[in-house]
Every structure is written in structure tokens, then in C-alpha cells.
């Protein structure tokens, strides 16, 4: 039996947590021993530990493994990871996200783990930190990559950046494995139509534009709010309401900004919602305004729900959305273009329907859990065959 220790910084709402939980649950059923290790979710973040529980995954929690950089906590987290790895003696340590990738791989290297794998769900080298800090993290990542057997990247666009622009990893050591999800709830979301509107008392004749994600700087919700104001000003005949789904450190500031823009009666902040399919089915357009993205989970879920999307053209978004067909893309920060594309869809129900249908067809084929598990199993089989069997002969 191949033993895997899978390390992720925390199970906060988002693609990496879903990805890690699904892999751990599926591989354990497939004959692996997959141990999921994580830190604790921050106070302002949505917690997805309920999803792990629903799949029968019992994570090993290391409280010191936090999002923030803290030398004391990081050192304690490293020691605990090293101790766990020495005790369990895994064949593979597979890390996810930046903090877990650094501490987990360093512990695995020093503990003599035969196979080290890291997944980039995006990268933190653009839009997250100052240029000086980003350069330091680049140096650290290049060092760790030298001791990593395989770097998994979730989209072709992000791979291009990592290999050719940032030169973090050479092409031969990297592989693109897109995310995979349980999409059935979204593909069949029509049976929940009307529930979200009814719960919030939203009239049937109001068009709804929604954005789903953490309320943090990288997601650039201010652009969404600015676009909402522009849409209202330029299209007084459109009856529309804007929905912000999620929570985070910027919520109070964003609510105040929306009020300052005069949007108080036209916008709803819902906080975190577990049943997103109930929301997507009642939205008319789903948007993303990020400065940077790996693979945009909210757009995949929206497209699986048959909804047209408008997004900034960053990171791996273009690998998900075909501009002009399954959705529309604009440059990061282009508020005028963003609002124009949203308004175009609001005015054209036929375009909304055709774009949504195309998106649903695309993601239903490409982003399944089954495909993800097959790809990861194939990767592990190849690595075990090349490294472990060779070492035993």
C-alpha cells in the first residue's frame, strides 16, 4: 500500500481545500493510505471541515500551521510536520498552497521521504506581496523545487508563467493536472430555482449579478462595486440587484464602500453559504474581478450551473472560460469593459442562455472528480515505479 501525507495550510472555503479533501477521500477508497494534514481556519474565513467530515476524512490538525507568517509558529509547525513524517514514514509527501508547500517539503526533504510532490493552485508572486517579498519567496520556491520530484500546476496559463516567465520550475519537472469536483449538485441545480430569491425576498423580475469568493484584496471586489454603479447609471431601465457571496477581512470596508457609492438598496452581502447551487441557479450573470487567480472555482461552479460569466483575464481563467463563447474576459482593472460586458448579458437573455449552455458543456467534461483522481493516480504510479522500485533493486 502506498502511503501519502497530504499537507495543506487550512481547509478554508476555496478550490485547494475541496481538491485536497476529494483526493484524500478518493485515494483512501482506491487502496492508498492518504493522511490529510492541515492548520486551522482564520476567524474571518469560511471553514470547509464539514466537507471533510461528509467524505469520511479526519484531518490531522496542526494549529501552528497558519496563513500569516510567524517565525515562532512556523518553526513549531515545521517540527510537528517533521515528527509526523518520521513517525508515519510515507512514500509520498504531497503539499498544497504556499505555506504548507514550504514547511511540508522542507520537513519531507530532511526526513528523507522518497517522493516529494507540490501542487501550485495558482501562485503568490503577483498581486499578493511587495516586489521585494515576492522575490524572496521566488528564491525559496526555486530552492525547494530543486528537491521536489514533481510540480503539479492546475492550468496551462499558470504553467506558462511558472516555467517561462518566473522560471520557478523546468518544463520536464512540471505537469498540468486541472482541478476536479463533484459537479452533480451544480449540473442539476434547476430543482432549487427560486429558493434563494424567496429566502431573501427578491422579486422575480429583478436580474441578479453575483460574485462568489473571499473578501480579500486579491479578489478586487471594489472593481465589482464600481461596475455595479456604472451599470446602474448607464442602464436605468434594467432592474438589477448585485449579490456578494462570501466573507473575509474586507467585508466591513466593502459594505461601507457600497454605501458610499449609493448602492445600499441594490446590493446584498450574504456571507458564506454552504449550498452554493441554490444561489447559482437564481443568478443571471456570475462575475470575477480578481487581480490574480489559479483556477477560478466559482466560475467552474457557475458554468456547471449553466450561468454566463464575466471575468478578468488573469492566471488560469482563460483555461476555463472561452472568451466570447462560454463567457467574456476583460483586462484586470478594466472597470468600464467589465461593466459593459455584464450589461450586454443583462440586456440579452438569448446570449445568457447560449453562453451558459456552452460553459456547462465544457466544465462537465473537463473538471470532474473522476478525471482528477485518475490523473493523480497515474502520476503517483509513475513516480513510485521510477523511484521506489529502482531504490529497492
| Mean pLDDT confidence for 361-365 | 94
Residues in the chain: 393
pLDDT at 47: 87
Domains of the chain: 3-180+368-392 (3.40.50.2000), 184-366 (3.40.50.2000)
Q: Per-residue pLDDT for 327 more than 70?
A: yes
Name every residue whose Cβ is closer than 8 Å to that of residue 140 and which is 6 or more positions away in sequence: 102
Q: Per-residue pLDDT for 238 more than 80?
A: yes
Stated pTM of the model = 0.86
DSSP string, 21-64: HHHHHHHHHTT-EEEEEE-PPPTTS-B-HHHHHHTT--PEE-TT
Q: Per-residue pLDDT for 40 more than 90?
A: no
Q: Per-residue pLDDT for 322 more than 80?
A: yes
Name every residue whose Cβ is closer than 8 Å to that of residue 184 and which is 6 or more positions away in sequence: none
| Mean pLDDT confidence for 209-216 | 96
Q: Per-residue pLDDT for 390 more than 80?
A: no
Q: Hey, how many other C-beta atoms are within 10 angstroms of the C-beta on 116?
A: 23
Q: Hey, how many other C-beta atoms are within 10 angstroms of the C-beta on 264?
A: 10
Q: Per-residue pLDDT for 203 more than 60?
A: yes
Q: Per-residue pLDDT for 391 more than 90?
A: no
170-193 pLDDT, tens digit each: 999 999 999 999 999 999 999 999
E strands in the chain: 3-8, 33-38, 60-61, 92-96, 115-120, 150-153, 174-176, 207-212, 240-245, 267-271, 285-288, 309-312, 327-330
Q: What is the Cα–Cα distance from 128 to 330, expressed in whole angstroms? A: 20
Cα separations in angstroms, 172 against 182, 338, 387: 30, 37, 16
pLDDT at 122: 73
pLDDT > 70 in the chain, percent: 96
Which of 226, 211, 314 lies closest to 270 in space, CA to CA? 211
User: Looking at the DSSP assignment, which residues form a beta bridge with residue 94?
Assistant: 6, 117
Q: Which contiguous run of DSSP H or E holds residue 136?
A: helix 131-146
Which pLDDT band holds residue 129 (cuts at 50, 70, 90)?
low
Which pLDDT band holds residue 13 (cuts at 50, 70, 90)?
confident
Name every residue whose Cβ is closer than 8 Å to that of residue 250 and which is 6 or more positions away in sequence: 215, 216, 217, 221
CA angle 10, 14, 19 (to 5 degrees): 80
Q: Cell triple for residue 192?
A: 432549487
Average pLDDT, the chain: 93
The answer to whether residues 5 and 92 touch, using CB atoms and an 8 Å cutoff, is yes
DSSP string, 238-307: --EEEEEEB--TTHHHHHHHHHHTT-GGGEEEEE--S-HHHHHTT-SEEEE--S--SS-HHHHHHHHTT-
86-123 pLDDT, tens digit each: 999 999 999 998 899 999 999 999 999 999 999 998 76
Pick 244 or 68 by higher pLDDT: 244
| Mean pLDDT confidence for 271-291 | 95
Amino acid at each position: 500500500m502506498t502511503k501519502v501525507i497530504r499537507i495543506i495550510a487550512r481547509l478554508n472555503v476555496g478550490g485547494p481545500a475541496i481538491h485536497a479533501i476529494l483526493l484524500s477521500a478518493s485515494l483512501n477508497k482506491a487502496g492508498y493510505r492518504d493522511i490529510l494534514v492541515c492548520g486551522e481556519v482564520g476567524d474571518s474565513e469560511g471553514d470547509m471541515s464539514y466537507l471533510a467530515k461528509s467524505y469520511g476524512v479526519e484531518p490531522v490538525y496542526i494549529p501552528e500551521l497558519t496563513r500569516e507568517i510567524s517565525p515562532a509558529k512556523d518553526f513549531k509547525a515545521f517540527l510537528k510536520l517533521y515528527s509526523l513524517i518520521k513517525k508515519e514514514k510515507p512514500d509520498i509527501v504531497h503539499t498544497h498552497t504556499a505555506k504548507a508547500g514550504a514547511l511540508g517539503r522542507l520537513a519531507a526533504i530532511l526526513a528523507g521521504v522518497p517522493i516529494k510532490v507540490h501542487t501550485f493552485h495558482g501562485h503568490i508572486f503577483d498581486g499578493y506581496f511587495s516586489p521585494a517579498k515576492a522575490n524572496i519567496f521566488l528564491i525559496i520556491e526555486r530552492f525547494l523545487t530543486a528537491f521536489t520530484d514533481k510540480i503539479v500546476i492546475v492550468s496551462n496559463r499558470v504553467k506558462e508563467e511558472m516555467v517561462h516567465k518566473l522560471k520557478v520550475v523546468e518544463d520536464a519537472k512540471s505537469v498540468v493536472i486541472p482541478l476536479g469536483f463533484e459537479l452533480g449538485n451544480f449540473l442539476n441545480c434547476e430543482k432549487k430555482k427560486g429558493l434563494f430569491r424567496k429566502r431573501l425576498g427578491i422579486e422575480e423580475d429583478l436580474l441578479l449579478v453575483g460574485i462568489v469568493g473571499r473578501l480579500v484584496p486579491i479578489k478586487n471586489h471594489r472593481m465589482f462595486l464600481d461596475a455595479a454603479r456604472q451599470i446602474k447609471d448607464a442602464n436605468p431601465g434594467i432592474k438589477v440587484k448585485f449579490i456578494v457571496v462570501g466573507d473575509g477581512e474586507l467585508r466591513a470596508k466593502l459594505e461601507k464602500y457600497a454605501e458610499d457609492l449609493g448602492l445600499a438598496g441594490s446590493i446584498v452581502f450574504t456571507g458564506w453559504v454552504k449550498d452554493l447551487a441554490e444561489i447559482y441557479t437564481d443568478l443571471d450573470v456570475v462575475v470575477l474581478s480578481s487581480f490574480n487567480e489559479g483556477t477560478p472555482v466559482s466560475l467552474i461552479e457557475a458554468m456547471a450551473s449553466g450561468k454566463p460569466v464575466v471575468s478578468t483575464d488573469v492566471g488560469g481563467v482563460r483555461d476555463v472560460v472561452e472568451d466570447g463563447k462560454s463567457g467574456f474576459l476583460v483586462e484586470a482593472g478594466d472597470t468600464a469593459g467589465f461593466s459593459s460586458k455584464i450589461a450586454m448579458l443583462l440586456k440579452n437573455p438569448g446570449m445568457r442562455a447560449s453562453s451558459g449552455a456552452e460553459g456547462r458543456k465544457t466544465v462537465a467534461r473537463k473538471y470532474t472528480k473522476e478525471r482528477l483522481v485518475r490523473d493523480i493516480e497515474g502520476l503517483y504510479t509513475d513516480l513510485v515505479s521510477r523511484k521506489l522500485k529502482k531504490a529497492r533493486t
